[in-house]
């Protein structure tokens, strides 16, 4: 006979997850001389899936073995059964259930460098750059394991691309749709690239900062995308609302390719958030080849936090000196952001970690929804100031 001692659940740390735990079970059944089945249900949130496995071993053997995993999804009401076989009759065994939230990975552009010599000029040449990068073994392993949401930036076309839907864009766009956009959620507007999605009680709006960019009319998003963003902000009931931009919102770099070059439109977005008292807005960005966390105070008394990650594979640069809005500034080494949103707490919380290539934590910023939005201020009838002041009130 087999004795099973002790049951507990280990939740592996997510990059960005809904904090799932077992909601039902575990239930042990089908015990035989050589095996057992263990059933459980996770409190899952669509469209995520979860992986459930069992670690087990004879009493006195702390290492043990790990069973094959099963996937828990909405299709099966997030239930699953793990089977342990090949046990030795007449021995006592222990087991643990291992529950892993599915990690969500955001790629904020520059997944290829089409403008490196010799630059791509035809659809076939753009396609060749994707094939080259996407065939890299570490990339393939990562993408097999982690669901990803992606958007492009300039290097999928040409450095600092701001010439709209002309020239190289017409060759680059079909290749991007073939290799990247096709696995993203449906766009907000048919035929466009910007989209939104939800993970648990967290909403995301992923911007297209290249298609409609026109410095002559001072727009990065174009009128339709801007209205879609505002509509999404007004309609979202999520605790946290992430606005995802391929380029930095911060003005630290003083680079016209970032939102620094589009201050009025940036100000209009911030003013919309503040005027309408929209809770839980958080900014994500990339592009600058260095890691930084910002607390934007030009929108006071509302505070918008921006988390900007360094590249996954490209070279890392030295960052400029910090300004008054900089909470953390990385050095010239590669680092990554992990964000854990816990909406089961009151107030809901975000843990934002900067980790290096070994997974070592370099910095931790813990926030609640109240750190972003002070409800008392808005209850007193705060009114928005002039938008032009927003666009100029930057370091």
Q: Is the N-terminal amide bond of 253 cis, ω within 30° of 0?
A: no
Q: What are phi and psi of 269, to 5 degrees?
A: -65, -50
Instruction: Quote the mean pLDDT of the chain.
Output: 83
Question: Which residues are paired to 32 by β-bridges?
Answer: none
Q: 132: which DSSP letter? A: H
Higher pLDDT, 94 or 153: 153
Range with the lowest mean pLDDT among 8-12, 128-132, 287-291, 328-332?
A: 8-12
Q: Where in the chain is the domain with CATH 2.60.40?
A: 3-101
Two tokens, residue 98: 């291992």
Average pLDDT over residues 203-231: 97
The pLDDT of residue 375: 56
Burial class (CB in 10 A: 0-12, 13-18, 19+), 275: middle
Q: CATH 3.60.21.70 in the chain: give the residue spans.
A: 185-392
Measured from the Cβ of residue 223, the count of other Cβ atoms closer than 10 Å reads: 10
Report pLDDT for 330: 87
What is the distance in angstroms between the CA of the first residue and the CA of the last residue of the chain? 72
Instruction: Give the pLDDT confidence score for residue 313 in this predicted structure.
Output: 76
Distance CA 354, CA 326 (A): 14
Average pLDDT over residues 356-383: 73
pLDDT for residue 10 is more than 50: no
- Which pLDDT score is estimated for 392? 30
Class of domain 3-101: mainly beta
The answer to whether 321 touches 343, Cβ cutoff 8 Å, is: no
The mean pLDDT of 246-268, rounded to a whole number, is: 96
- The pLDDT assigned to 12 comes to 28
The SS3 of residue 58 is strand
Would you say residue 17 has pLDDT above 80? no
CA 205, CA 195: separation in Å to the nearest integer? Answer: 6
Unique residue bearing structure tokens 């076309």: 157
pTM exceeding the 0.85 threshold for the entire prediction: no
CA angle 94, 96, 100 (to 5 degrees): 165
SS3 assignment, position 268: helix
Is a pLDDT exceeding 80 seen at residue 337? Answer: yes
Strands 292-296 and 304-308, bridge-based pairing: antiparallel
Instruction: Work out the average pLDDT over 287-307.
Output: 86
Query: What would be the CATH architecture of the domain defined by 185-392?
Result: 4-Layer Sandwich (3.60)
């Amino acid at each position: 006979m087999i004795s099973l001692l002790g049951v507990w659940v280990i939740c592996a740390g997510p990059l960005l997850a809904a904090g799932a735990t077992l909601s039902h079970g575990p239930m042990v059944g089908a015990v035989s001389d050589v095996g057992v089945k263990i059933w459980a249900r996770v409190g899952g949130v669509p469209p995520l899936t979860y992986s459930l496995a069992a670690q087990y071993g004879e009493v006195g053997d702390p290492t043990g073995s790990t069973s094959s995993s099963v996937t828990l999804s909405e299709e099966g009401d997030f239930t699953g059964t793990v089977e342990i076989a090949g046990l030795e009759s007449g021995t006592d065994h222990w087991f643990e259930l291992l529950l892993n939230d599915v990690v969500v990975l955001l790629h904020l552009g520059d997944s290829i460098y089409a403008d490196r010599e010799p630059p791509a000029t035809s659809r076939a040449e753009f396609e060749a750059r994707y094939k080259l990068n996407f065939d890299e073994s570490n990339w393939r392993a990562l993408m097999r394991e982690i669901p990803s949401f992606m958007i492009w930036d300039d290097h999928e076309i040409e450095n600092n691309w701001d010439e709209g839907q002309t020239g190289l864009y017409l060759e680059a766009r079909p290749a991007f749709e073939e290799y990247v956009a096709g696995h993203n959620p449906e766009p907000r507007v048919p035929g466009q690239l910007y989209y939104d999605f939800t993970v648990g009680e967290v909403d995301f709006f992923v911007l297209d900062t290249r298609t409609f960019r026109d410095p002559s009319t001072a727009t990065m998003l174009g009128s339709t995308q801007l209205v879609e963003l505002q509509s999404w902000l007004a309609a979202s009931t999520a605790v946290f609302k992430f606005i995802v931009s391929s380029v930095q919102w911060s003005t630290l770099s003083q680079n016209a390719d970032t939102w620094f070059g589009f201050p009025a439109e940036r100000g209009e977005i911030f003013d919309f958030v503040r005027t309408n008292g929209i809770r839980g807005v958080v900014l994500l960005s990339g592009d600058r080849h260095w890691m930084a966390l910002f607390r934007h105070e030009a929108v006071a008394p509302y505070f918008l936090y921006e988390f900007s990650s360094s590249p996954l594979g490209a070279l890392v640069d030295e960052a400029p000196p910090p300004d008054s809005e900089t909470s953390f500034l990385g050095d010239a080494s590669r680092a990554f952001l992990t964000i854990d949103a816990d909406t089961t707490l009151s107030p809901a919380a975000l843990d934002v970690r900067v980790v290096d290539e070994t997974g070592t934590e370099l910095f931790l910023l813990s926030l609640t929804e109240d750190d972003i939005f002070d409800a008392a201020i808005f209850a007193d009838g705060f009114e928005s100031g002039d938008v032009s002041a927003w666009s100029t009130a930057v370091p």
